[in-house]
């Protein structure tokens, strides 16, 4: 059989040239190829294809099935693509990815034949076999479909042994466009995103836990060949490990770092952690093997709000871990949420106070979003709180439910938080030695906000004015969609 796996285009959402490799369709493609299926990968979003270009390509290739992977904020773009495709093509369409958390109603909302909930490798292959052999779909795990006009939801099944799933190589994609990009005529290396586990044991009410609570880990021995492939075959040595919590299993982290050292693999990498799953020994070992930055989910400076969110952490633990991480010379990113249901202005001030005092390098701020499929969504629905069905609003700094605090107030809080961020970053840059135009200043100019303010930089450093801090903070706020690119540039500048 012949299959096309695609992401929907989003023609007006490219404020820079940086794109990420599509993990979801990458894994599905590799697994299906292993099973002998002919697969074409079309990352329309990443490669900036138009709706018509994608649809024309699908019709030309005429596959037996098209599979789309999507996320909730891009619902409208996926719907537009499917609507356009349906006018000219009648074969089966299946949708997977976090967007399926919207629920079975998505079948009708998108006018597609099937949804796959959860991990798709086994399910998609079984679906293809059922279509090919004209069998029923009862045994296809995680499949949502219609039978005699009634919606049927099959139970999900998690893949327990991740070591048997091949890692994606993206052979259908022009890798150069993903691993490097241009910004202000500078070539910037874009890290390769890899995932080494699935599932998260935490119970945060705002997280959809797309891979479930059951944690499955690739062994350290299984991860290294993927990294070596990118280093040796593709000349890529920067990685973002996007596990929900890379540091869940200390032994595996230590084994991973030991293998990196033993094999003398020269890489730089970042990862996500929780403050209650990491210690000094781990941070020290991670730094020795190229880790430059750890992303911690903090969310709030109020212990009551943290407990409401079911974070399972304390403010004191947050302070201790950030201090420990800083002492080890490791970069840090902290994420914060404002506008949590029941949150008060006093509790928001506690978050502002924590942000100002934490030894933290970079921040990520967002307004609370009760995504479909999360516990937060169910809590609000049970209380008859109105939640928008305009899914595009789930992207960016928007209020999507009737909260206790005004949207404009929360947006101003986020701007203030980014102001604090800007002030810290610019002060950090000011203290760096010898800002000559041929060294660090050139690297700073990769980022547009600093390009505006730093035309010529004397060796003595940068003069930071209040106006510049405000403008820089405003730009970071407006450019939230490109935030991780900004982090990448600044972390390289500060941490090497």
Distance from C-alpha of 53 to C-alpha of 56, rounded to nearest angstrom? 5
pLDDT tens for residues 109-164? 999 999 999 999 999 999 999 999 999 999 999 999 999 999 999 999 899 999 99
Looking up tokens 């024309």 gives 56
Distance from C-alpha of 289 to C-alpha of 260, rounded to nearest angstrom? 7
pLDDT tens for residues 280-294? 999 999 999 999 899
Reference 305, options 411, 425, 205, 435; nearest CA is: 205
Count Cβ neighbours within 10 Å for each residue of 449-484 and write b for 16 or more, e otherwise.
bbeebbeebeeeebebeeebbeebbebbbebbebbb
State residue 176's pLDDT score: 82
Give the least confident one: 215-219, 232-236, 301-305: 232-236
Q: Which residues contact 228 (CB under 8 A, 6 or more apart)?
A: 263, 265
State residue 10's pLDDT score: 77
Start-end of H helices in 75-152:
75-86, 106-110, 121-132
pLDDT band at 364 (very low <50, low <70, confident <90, very high): confident
Contact yes or no for 373/103 (Cβ under 8 A): yes
Q: How far is CA 42 from CA 7, 76, 165, 179, in A?
A: 7, 18, 21, 17
Distance from C-alpha of 408 to C-alpha of 414, rounded to nearest angstrom? 10
Give the least confident one: 81-85, 353-357, 384-388: 353-357
Q: Say whether pLDDT at 436 is over 50.
A: no
Q: Say whether pLDDT at 465 is over 70.
A: no
Reference 422, options 488, 484, 356; nearest CA is: 356
Q: Say whether pLDDT at 440 is over 60.
A: no
All structural domains of the chain, each given as residue ranges with its CATH number in brackets, are: 2-153 (3.40.50.280), 421-496 (no CATH)
Mean predicted confidence (pLDDT) in 16-39 = 89
Stated as kind and residue range, the H or E segment containing 271 is strand 268-273
pTM for this entry: 0.87
Mean predicted confidence (pLDDT) in 396-411 = 89
State residue 208's pLDDT score: 87
pLDDT band at 422 (very low <50, low <70, confident <90, very high): low
Looking at every residue in the chain, the average pLDDT score rounds to 85
State residue 163's pLDDT score: 97
């Amino acid at each position: 059989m012949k299959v096309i796996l695609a992401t929907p285009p989003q023609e007006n959402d490219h404020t820079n040239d940086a794109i990420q490799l599509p993990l979801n369709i990458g894994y599905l493609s590799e697994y299906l190829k292993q099973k002998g299926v002919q697969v074409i990968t079309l990352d329309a979003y990443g490669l900036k294809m138009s709706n018509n270009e994608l649809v024309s390509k699908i019709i030309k290739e005429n596959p037996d099935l098209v599979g789309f992977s999507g996320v909730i904020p891009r619902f409208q773009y996926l719907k537009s693509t499917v609507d356009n495709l349906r006018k000219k093509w009648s074969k089966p369409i299946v949708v997977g990815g976090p967007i399926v958390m919207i629920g079975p109603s998505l079948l009708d909302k998108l006018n597609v034949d099937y949804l796959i909930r959860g991990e798709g490798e086994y399910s998609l292959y079984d679906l293809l076999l059922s279509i090919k052999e004209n069998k029923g779909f009862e045994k296809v795990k995680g499949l949502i479909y219609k039978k005699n006009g009634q919606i049927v939801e099959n139970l999900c099944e998690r893949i327990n042994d991740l070591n048997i799933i091949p890692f994606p190589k993206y052979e259908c994609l022009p890798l150069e466009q993903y691993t490097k990009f241009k910004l202000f005529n500078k070539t910037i290396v874009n890290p390769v995103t890899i995932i080494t586990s699935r599932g998260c044991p935490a119970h945060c009410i705002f997280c959809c836990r797309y891979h479930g609570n059951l944690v499955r880990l690739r062994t350290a021995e299984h991860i290294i060949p993927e990294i070596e492939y990118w280093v040796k075959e593709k000349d890529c040595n920067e990685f973002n490990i996007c596990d929900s919590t890379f540091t869940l299993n200390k032994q595996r982290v230590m084994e991973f770092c030991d293998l990196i050292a033993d094999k003398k693999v020269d890489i730089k990498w970042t990862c996500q952690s929780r403050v209650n799953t990491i210690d000094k020994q781990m941070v020290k070992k991670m730094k020795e093997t190229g880790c430059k930055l750890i992303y911690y989910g903090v969310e709030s400076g109020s212990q009551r709000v943290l407990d409401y969110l079911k974070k399972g952490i304390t403010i004191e633990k947050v302070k201790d871990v950030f201090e420990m991480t800083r002492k080890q010379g490791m970069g840090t990113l902290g994420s914060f949420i404002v506008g949590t249901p029941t949150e008060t202005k006093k509790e928001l001030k506690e978050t502002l106070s924590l942000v100002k005092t934490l030894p933290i390098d970079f921040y990520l701020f967002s307004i609370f979003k009760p995504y479909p499929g999360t516990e937060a969504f169910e809590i609000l629905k049970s209380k008859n709180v109105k939640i928008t069905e305009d899914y595009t609003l789930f992207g960016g700094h928007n209020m999507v439910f009737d909260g206790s605090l005004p949207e404009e107030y929360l947006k101003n809080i986020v701007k203030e938080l980014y102001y604090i961020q800007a002030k810290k970053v610019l002060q950090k840059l000011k203290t760096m030695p010898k800002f000559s135009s041929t060294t660090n200043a050139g690297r700073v100019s990769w980022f547009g906000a600093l390009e505006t303010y730093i035309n010529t930089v004397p060796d003595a450093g940068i003069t930071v004015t209040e106006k510049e801090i405000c403008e820089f903070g405003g730009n970071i706020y407006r450019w939230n969609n490109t935030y991780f690119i900004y982090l990448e540039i600044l972390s390289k500048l500060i941490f090497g």
